Amino acid sequence: MTASGHQNGHHHGAAGNGHVAHHPVSGGPIVQLPTAFGEFVTQAWTDLVTGAEHLAVSSPNPPQDGIAPLVRLHSECLTGDVFGSYRCDCGEQLAYALEMINEFGGTLLYLRGQEGRGIGLANKIKAYALQEAGFDTVEANEQLGLPVDARCYKAAAQILAEMGLHEIRLLSNNPDKQNRLAKAGVKVVEMVPTEVPSRDQNIRYLQTKKDRMEHRLTLDTHVATVPGSGADPYDD
Protein backbone atom coordinates (compact mmCIF):
# COMPACT_ATOMS: atom_id res chain seq x y z
CA MET A 1 0.00 0.00 0.00
CA THR A 2 1.27 3.48 -0.77
CA ALA A 3 1.36 6.21 1.84
CA SER A 4 -1.70 7.81 0.28
CA GLY A 5 -3.75 4.72 0.95
CA HIS A 6 -3.72 4.72 4.74
CA GLN A 7 -5.85 6.45 7.30
CA ASN A 8 -4.94 9.60 9.19
CA GLY A 9 -5.81 10.05 12.82
CA HIS A 10 -4.87 7.91 15.80
CA HIS A 11 -5.95 5.15 18.09
CA HIS A 12 -4.51 3.05 20.87
CA GLY A 13 -2.77 -0.14 19.80
CA ALA A 14 -4.08 -3.36 21.31
CA ALA A 15 -1.90 -5.20 23.79
CA GLY A 16 -3.55 -8.57 23.19
CA ASN A 17 -2.10 -11.72 21.64
CA GLY A 18 1.12 -11.23 23.58
CA HIS A 19 2.01 -8.08 21.67
CA VAL A 20 3.55 -5.00 23.23
CA ALA A 21 1.08 -2.10 23.52
CA HIS A 22 1.71 0.53 20.88
CA HIS A 23 1.96 4.25 21.49
CA PRO A 24 -1.03 6.15 20.09
CA VAL A 25 -0.04 8.42 17.22
CA SER A 26 -1.59 11.22 15.21
CA GLY A 27 -0.92 11.63 11.49
CA GLY A 28 -0.91 14.88 9.52
CA PRO A 29 -1.54 15.63 5.85
CA ILE A 30 0.31 13.78 3.07
CA VAL A 31 2.34 16.07 0.82
CA GLN A 32 4.78 15.76 -2.07
CA LEU A 33 8.50 15.63 -1.25
CA PRO A 34 10.80 15.98 -4.27
CA THR A 35 14.38 15.11 -3.25
CA ALA A 36 17.82 14.38 -4.66
CA PHE A 37 16.92 10.70 -4.22
CA GLY A 38 13.67 10.89 -6.17
CA GLU A 39 10.02 11.85 -5.81
CA PHE A 40 8.40 10.86 -2.51
CA VAL A 41 5.31 11.63 -0.48
CA THR A 42 5.69 12.43 3.20
CA GLN A 43 3.59 12.59 6.35
CA ALA A 44 4.44 13.74 9.86
CA TRP A 45 3.34 11.62 12.81
CA THR A 46 3.23 12.64 16.48
CA ASP A 47 3.75 10.15 19.30
CA LEU A 48 0.99 11.17 21.71
CA VAL A 49 2.85 9.62 24.65
CA THR A 50 6.27 11.24 24.24
CA GLY A 51 5.43 14.17 21.95
CA ALA A 52 8.16 13.10 19.51
CA GLU A 53 7.48 13.99 15.89
CA HIS A 54 8.42 11.37 13.30
CA LEU A 55 8.34 11.49 9.49
CA ALA A 56 7.20 8.86 7.01
CA VAL A 57 8.85 9.24 3.59
CA SER A 58 7.25 6.92 1.05
CA SER A 59 7.49 6.03 -2.60
CA PRO A 60 4.25 6.98 -4.40
CA ASN A 61 4.51 3.72 -6.34
CA PRO A 62 3.45 0.33 -4.96
CA PRO A 63 6.09 -2.41 -4.59
CA GLN A 64 6.70 -4.45 -7.72
CA ASP A 65 4.88 -7.75 -8.24
CA GLY A 66 2.90 -7.42 -5.04
CA ILE A 67 5.85 -8.22 -2.77
CA ALA A 68 6.01 -6.85 0.76
CA PRO A 69 7.19 -3.22 0.80
CA LEU A 70 10.63 -2.18 1.91
CA VAL A 71 10.61 -0.35 5.25
CA ARG A 72 13.50 1.43 6.92
CA LEU A 73 13.25 2.51 10.56
CA HIS A 74 15.94 5.18 10.63
CA SER A 75 16.90 6.59 14.01
CA GLU A 76 17.77 10.27 13.93
CA CYS A 77 21.52 10.91 13.79
CA LEU A 78 22.29 14.60 13.48
CA THR A 79 26.04 14.13 13.08
CA GLY A 80 25.73 11.43 10.42
CA ASP A 81 22.54 12.43 8.61
CA VAL A 82 23.14 16.18 8.42
CA PHE A 83 26.91 16.64 8.68
CA GLY A 84 27.98 13.42 6.99
CA SER A 85 30.10 12.26 9.94
CA TYR A 86 32.37 9.32 9.22
CA ARG A 87 32.27 8.19 12.88
CA CYS A 88 29.17 6.13 12.04
CA ASP A 89 27.44 4.76 8.94
CA CYS A 90 24.06 6.42 9.57
CA GLY A 91 24.09 9.08 6.86
CA GLU A 92 25.19 6.62 4.21
CA GLN A 93 22.59 4.06 5.32
CA LEU A 94 19.94 6.80 5.06
CA ALA A 95 21.00 7.62 1.49
CA TYR A 96 21.13 3.93 0.55
CA ALA A 97 17.63 3.28 1.98
CA LEU A 98 16.09 6.24 0.15
CA GLU A 99 17.60 5.07 -3.13
CA MET A 100 16.24 1.56 -2.56
CA ILE A 101 12.76 2.81 -1.62
CA ASN A 102 12.68 5.13 -4.62
CA GLU A 103 13.56 2.25 -6.93
CA PHE A 104 11.56 -0.60 -5.42
CA GLY A 105 8.78 1.03 -3.37
CA GLY A 106 8.26 1.29 0.36
CA THR A 107 8.58 3.68 3.28
CA LEU A 108 11.29 5.18 5.45
CA LEU A 109 10.26 6.17 8.96
CA TYR A 110 12.60 8.84 10.26
CA LEU A 111 12.42 8.42 14.03
CA ARG A 112 13.28 11.58 15.89
CA GLY A 113 14.35 11.52 19.53
CA GLN A 114 16.40 8.37 18.86
CA GLU A 115 19.80 10.09 18.73
CA GLY A 116 22.70 7.93 19.88
CA ARG A 117 20.48 4.81 20.10
CA GLY A 118 18.15 6.83 22.32
CA ILE A 119 20.55 8.53 24.75
CA GLY A 120 20.32 11.99 23.17
CA LEU A 121 22.73 14.26 21.34
CA ALA A 122 24.64 15.66 24.33
CA ASN A 123 25.17 12.20 25.81
CA LYS A 124 26.25 10.87 22.42
CA ILE A 125 28.99 13.49 22.24
CA LYS A 126 30.04 12.53 25.78
CA ALA A 127 30.18 8.92 24.61
CA TYR A 128 32.34 10.01 21.65
CA ALA A 129 34.79 11.58 24.10
CA LEU A 130 35.01 8.27 25.97
CA GLN A 131 35.52 6.44 22.67
CA GLU A 132 38.43 8.76 21.93
CA ALA A 133 39.82 7.72 25.34
CA GLY A 134 39.75 4.06 24.25
CA PHE A 135 36.29 2.71 25.09
CA ASP A 136 34.10 1.12 22.42
CA THR A 137 30.56 2.33 21.73
CA VAL A 138 28.99 -0.15 24.17
CA GLU A 139 31.50 0.52 26.95
CA ALA A 140 31.13 4.29 26.52
CA ASN A 141 27.40 4.13 27.19
CA GLU A 142 27.99 1.88 30.18
CA GLN A 143 30.60 4.28 31.59
CA LEU A 144 27.96 7.02 31.42
CA GLY A 145 25.45 4.81 33.25
CA LEU A 146 23.24 4.73 30.15
CA PRO A 147 21.57 1.87 28.25
CA VAL A 148 23.46 0.43 25.29
CA ASP A 149 20.24 0.82 23.25
CA ALA A 150 17.43 2.91 24.71
CA ARG A 151 15.31 3.14 21.57
CA CYS A 152 11.58 2.48 21.63
CA TYR A 153 9.70 1.26 18.54
CA LYS A 154 6.13 1.37 19.92
CA ALA A 155 5.23 4.51 17.98
CA ALA A 156 6.94 3.16 14.87
CA ALA A 157 4.90 -0.04 15.04
CA GLN A 158 1.69 1.95 15.41
CA ILE A 159 2.57 4.20 12.46
CA LEU A 160 3.24 1.14 10.30
CA ALA A 161 -0.09 -0.37 11.38
CA GLU A 162 -2.00 2.80 10.50
CA MET A 163 -0.26 2.93 7.13
CA GLY A 164 -1.41 -0.65 6.48
CA LEU A 165 2.15 -2.00 6.55
CA HIS A 166 1.61 -5.25 8.47
CA GLU A 167 4.09 -7.35 6.49
CA ILE A 168 7.34 -5.72 5.46
CA ARG A 169 10.84 -6.29 4.18
CA LEU A 170 13.00 -4.53 6.75
CA LEU A 171 15.96 -2.49 5.51
CA SER A 172 18.32 -3.12 8.39
CA ASN A 173 21.40 -4.98 9.60
CA ASN A 174 20.02 -5.14 13.15
CA PRO A 175 18.05 -8.30 14.07
CA ASP A 176 16.85 -6.64 17.29
CA LYS A 177 14.61 -4.39 15.20
CA GLN A 178 13.03 -7.45 13.59
CA ASN A 179 12.45 -9.08 16.97
CA ARG A 180 10.92 -5.99 18.54
CA LEU A 181 8.67 -5.30 15.56
CA ALA A 182 7.47 -8.91 15.66
CA LYS A 183 6.49 -8.46 19.32
CA ALA A 184 4.58 -5.34 18.27
CA GLY A 185 2.64 -7.25 15.62
CA VAL A 186 4.58 -6.28 12.48
CA LYS A 187 5.68 -9.30 10.46
CA VAL A 188 9.14 -8.97 8.93
CA VAL A 189 9.18 -11.37 5.99
CA GLU A 190 12.76 -10.52 4.99
CA MET A 191 15.76 -8.63 6.33
CA VAL A 192 17.31 -6.59 3.52
CA PRO A 193 20.90 -5.55 4.33
CA THR A 194 21.84 -1.88 4.36
CA GLU A 195 25.57 -2.32 4.85
CA VAL A 196 27.68 0.41 3.29
CA PRO A 197 31.47 0.39 2.91
CA SER A 198 33.36 0.75 6.19
CA ARG A 199 35.90 3.49 6.76
CA ASP A 200 39.03 3.81 8.86
CA GLN A 201 37.10 6.25 11.06
CA ASN A 202 34.20 3.87 11.83
CA ILE A 203 35.62 0.35 11.51
CA ARG A 204 35.93 -0.18 15.29
CA TYR A 205 32.38 1.14 15.81
CA LEU A 206 31.06 -1.26 13.18
CA GLN A 207 33.10 -4.16 14.54
CA THR A 208 31.59 -3.54 17.97
CA LYS A 209 28.07 -3.54 16.50
CA LYS A 210 28.83 -6.85 14.82
CA ASP A 211 30.53 -8.53 17.78
CA ARG A 212 28.56 -7.17 20.72
CA MET A 213 25.17 -6.17 19.24
CA GLU A 214 24.80 -8.97 16.67
CA HIS A 215 24.44 -6.70 13.67
CA ARG A 216 24.67 -8.59 10.39
CA LEU A 217 27.78 -7.02 8.92
CA THR A 218 30.51 -8.43 6.71
CA LEU A 219 32.80 -5.39 7.18
CA ASP A 220 33.93 -5.80 3.60
CA THR A 221 35.10 -2.44 2.29
CA HIS A 222 33.64 -3.37 -1.11
CA VAL A 223 29.99 -3.97 -0.18
CA ALA A 224 27.32 -2.46 -2.42
CA THR A 225 27.34 1.28 -2.93
CA VAL A 226 24.21 3.38 -3.19
CA PRO A 227 22.21 2.08 -6.20
CA GLY A 228 22.46 4.26 -9.26
CA SER A 229 25.41 6.24 -7.93
CA GLY A 230 29.06 5.47 -8.33
CA ALA A 231 30.02 8.42 -6.18
CA ASP A 232 30.31 8.80 -2.44
CA PRO A 233 27.23 10.86 -1.42
CA TYR A 234 29.41 12.98 0.85
CA ASP A 235 32.28 13.65 -1.54
CA ASP A 236 32.44 17.22 -2.80
Dihedral angle of Cα 121, 125, 127, 133, to the nearest 10 degrees: 180
Say if strands 106-111 and 53-58 run parallel, antiparallel, or are unpaired. antiparallel
**Contact residues for 234 (Cβ-Cβ < 8 A; gap 6+):** 84, 91, 92
What is the rounded CA–CA span in Å between residue 193 and residue 206?
14
Examine the residue annotation and report whether 151 is marked as an active-site residue of this protein.
yes
C-alpha separations of 171 from 109, 147, 193 in Å: 11, 24, 6
| Residue among 146, 163, 151 nearest 1 (CA) | 163
Contact 30, 5 (CB under 8 A): no
Contact 60, 3 (CB under 8 A): yes
**Contact residues for 105 (Cβ-Cβ < 8 A; gap 6+):** 2, 59, 61, 62, 63, 64, 69, 70
H and E: helices and strands count for the chain: 7, 7
Examine the residue annotation and report whether 149 is marked as an active-site residue of this protein.
yes
Catalytic site residue from 47, 81, 89, 151:
151
Catalytic site residue from 87, 112, 136, 149:
149
What is the rounded CA–CA span in Å between residue 185 and residue 167?
9
Enzyme catalytic residues: 149, 151
